[in-house]
Chain A
């Protein structure tokens, strides 16, 4: 596919779905107390989705206090990132779990 076709396809898609064609969902899997990948990059307006495969509850808690996401065992939780910056986060229940969301404008 040539770049022109990709552009055209993108224009058509964005015409249909408007905003959602631009906002992405970035997935982080939690398995055996590890956020994977440990570092993800998102744009303001994107959704970060944590998929908890563990038998215990976790959180994704920003160290700067910006957000706190509760993730029940075997469940998925989501957050729309609204501010840019490098956000370190951890699990309140198991502070040995650490991750980073790099949010770009």
Chain B
């Protein structure tokens, strides 16, 4: 039974390809805060790489939007954890997310021009999909504090917007 269950979990991990599936079933508020903050910082790092490498106007505008929005959300998140006296706690999900994003940035570093633009934007679509589904299915339902939950809900709407925006940019690159 145990073997079958872990096989099922492994299958889910493979299917979603997401770091989130490897994390704890029900993260605590300090862990949720850490995961959400990390997800934002990783997208800022990806955008900064795009701003260094890309010459495409649309791609650069999108990357600038990502830096601006995720910086604003994370600033709000830091103010909230300070107010709530919550110390964000590192965890397996945050670590897996970071590992995955670092690997992606290393992969993208080898690309140039249009190949880079396409790979960056495609990954932005996929990344926001992963983060949005984690927010919707795991992080928001698990959050205990009402203010944290509310910030995550607003974050979800912002990131869903990014997902659609990235899809538009991806369509224009084709």
Contacts and interface: CB of A to CB of B under 8 A. Distances in A.
Contact of A33 (B68, B75, B76, B161): B161
A79 B157 CA distance: 25
B73 A56 contact: yes
A94 B162 contact: yes
Interface string B65-81: 10011001101100000
Nearest to B168: A95
| Most chain A CB within a 10 A radius of its CB, from B73, B75, B76, B165 | B165
A54 interface: yes
Given A32-B154, A56-B158, A95 B165 contact: yes
B98 interface: no
B161 A93 contact: yes
Contacts of B165: 92-95
Contacts of A96: 157, 160-161, 164
B153 interface: yes
A55 B65 contact: no
A96 B72 CA distance: 19
Nearest to A31: B154
Interface in B154-173: 154, 157-158, 160-162, 164-165, 168
A94 B73 contact: no
Given A32-B157, A33-B154, A93-B161, A56 B168 contact: no
A43 to B, nearest CB: 31
B154 A54 contact: yes
B107 to A, nearest CB: 27
Nearest to A93: B65
B164 A55 contact: no
Interface of A: 32-33, 54-57, 73, 91-97
29 contacts: A32-B153, A32-B154, A33-B154, A33-B158, A33-B161, A55-B72, A55-B73, A55-B75, A55-B76, A55-B154, A56-B68, A56-B72, A56-B158, A73-B72, A91-B161, A92-B165, A93-B69, A93-B162, A93-B165, A94-B157, A94-B161, A94-B164, A94-B165, A95-B161, A95-B164, A95-B168, A96-B157, A96-B160, A96-B164
Given A57-B69, A93-B69, A95-B165, 16 more contacts: A32-B153, A33-B161, A55-B75, A55-B154, A56-B72, A56-B73, A56-B158, A57-B68, A73-B72, A91-B161, A93-B165, A94-B158, A94-B161, A95-B161, A95-B164, A95-B168
